Amino acid sequence: MLLGGFAWFLWYLKQQPADTVSTTPAVRQNTQQADKSGADDLPAKPVAEPYQYIKELENKEVQVEVDTTGREPQGPFQMQCGSFRQADQAEAMRAQIAFAGFASAVRRTEGSNGVWYRVVLGPYDSKRQATADRNRLQQQNINGCRIWNWT
């Protein structure tokens, strides 16, 4: 019985003409006028732009105050790529850095826990320069370099 009812519903939909779709009279009238003219008429273009923010933004000037009192130069910076107990280990690291194309120095430091040999690069005027060199060293598989504010 359910299958029979479904088949009758499909037959009923097939029998109805396509232009008897329920529409409002205004929509029906507009469709009939469009059919008579033979082309779909687009609505008329507005005379003026309804939004004025476009013209306002074209002529807008923004005043920005930059506070330079808190932004003093923070340099110079140095980069340390290793700290070793033996001088020959520090020289080996310095050679690796030299093969990568950078000049470095080995500095001897005496602290409370003995003598250390540090491999350092720099000084750099900005941290950005030091970071660029560190990234190039990392591409050469020289990792572990740290940037310090050298003051």
Write the DSSP assignment of 10-48 as a string of letters. HHHHHHS-GGG----HHHHHHHHHHHHHSSPPPPPPPSS
Residue 25, phi then psi, degrees to nearest 5: -60, -35
- Under DSSP, is residue 112 helix (H, G, I), strand (E, B) or coil? coil
pLDDT reading at 97 higher than 90 = yes
Percentage of the chain lying above the pLDDT 90 cut: 48
Measured over the CA atoms of residue 32, residue 37, residue 42 and residue 44, the dihedral's sign is negative
Q: What is the pLDDT of residues 29-73, one digit of tens each?
A: 555 555 555 556 788 877 777 777 777 888 888 888 877 766 566
Q: What is the pLDDT of residues 98-118, one digit of tens each?
A: 999 999 999 999 989 999 999
Residue 71, phi then psi, degrees to nearest 5: -110, 75
What is the average pLDDT score of the chain? Answer: 83
Model pTM score:
0.52
What CATH number matches the domain at 77-141, 3.65.10.10, 3.30.70.1070, 3.40.50.460, 3.90.1200.10?
3.30.70.1070
Mean pLDDT value of segment 77-106? 95
**Poorest-pLDDT segment among 74-78, 88-92, 101-105, 132-136:** 74-78
Q: Who's near 133: CB < 8 A, 6+ residues apart?
A: 79, 102, 121, 124
How far is residue 149's CA from residue 78's CA, in Å, rounded to a whole number? 6
Q: Are 136 and 145 in contact (CB under 8 A)?
A: no
